[in-house]
Structure 1
Amino acid sequence: MNSIGEECTELKREYDACFNAWFSDKFLKGKYKNDPCAGIFQKYQACVKQAIRDKGINLDEIEKPVLGTSNEQQTPANTTGTSV
């Protein structure tokens, strides 16, 4: 599967390959203290965020800190399942 931004697809493939190797060769064997893919992930994440911005999508809501704040376990506003 390609990335949201074509310019990010190669970074996505590189990260996917790194993650899959780490997951099967290390994590599943209990060796998960180091994440060798973190640098690749950061580059890929930055590329994806820029591609999203380039499409005119505002990232403010998804970048808002939630974990460890009073918003962490709040119920979404529309939980009735009805469409608005």
Structure 2
Amino acid sequence: MADSLSPECTPLKKEYDSCFNAWFEGYLEPAVSISQLPAQQQRQTREEYSRKKAEEFQRKCGKLWEAYRGCVQKALKGKGLDKMLEQSREENAFNSMPPVIQDKAK
């Protein structure tokens, strides 16, 4: 894992990365086999699974994320990068999704 933007944030980043990676590995493992369910029930099951995993993330990693994010935001401000980021967001706002390019080789 790479170091953070600021050396004082690196321990928080490593702790958060470790927590996130463990959580994400569990997120990718299917909790239930839903392929045999009707489409409506599949969607409800996926939505419920996603909601439960989001709640699990908040319980396990939410405080670490907030601490790391706060540290990075403070470092950005200290380096004067916060204003540059805001300007960039204003000039190049993501107002819509980029177009999907169809593969013509199919």
1:32-51 per-residue CA deviation (whole Å, 9 max, x = no partner) reads 24212111111101100110
Q: CA, structure 1 residues 27+41, in 2 after alignment: closer, same or farther (shift >3 Å)?
A: same
Q: Give the unaligned 5+ runs of structure 1.
A: 76-84
Once the two structures are aligned, what percentage of the paired residues are identical?
Answer: 35
CA RMSD of aligned residues (A): 2.5
Q: Does 1:28 align with 2:28?
A: yes
Higher relative contact order (CA 8 A, sep 6+): 2
Which structure shows the bigger proportion of residues in helix conformation? 2
Q: Give the unaligned 5+ runs of structure 2.
A: 32-48, 99-106
Pairing of 1:5-16 with structure 2 (within 5 A): 5-16=6-17
User: What TM-score, normalized by structure 1, do the two folds share?
Assistant: 0.66
User: Which runs of at least 4 in structure 1 moved beyond 2 Å after TM superposition?
Assistant: 59-64
The alignment of Structure 1 onto Structure 2 pairs a total of residues equal to 69
In 2, Cα distance between equivalents of 1:33 and 1:74: 23
Q: Select the structure of larger CA radius of gyration.
A: 2
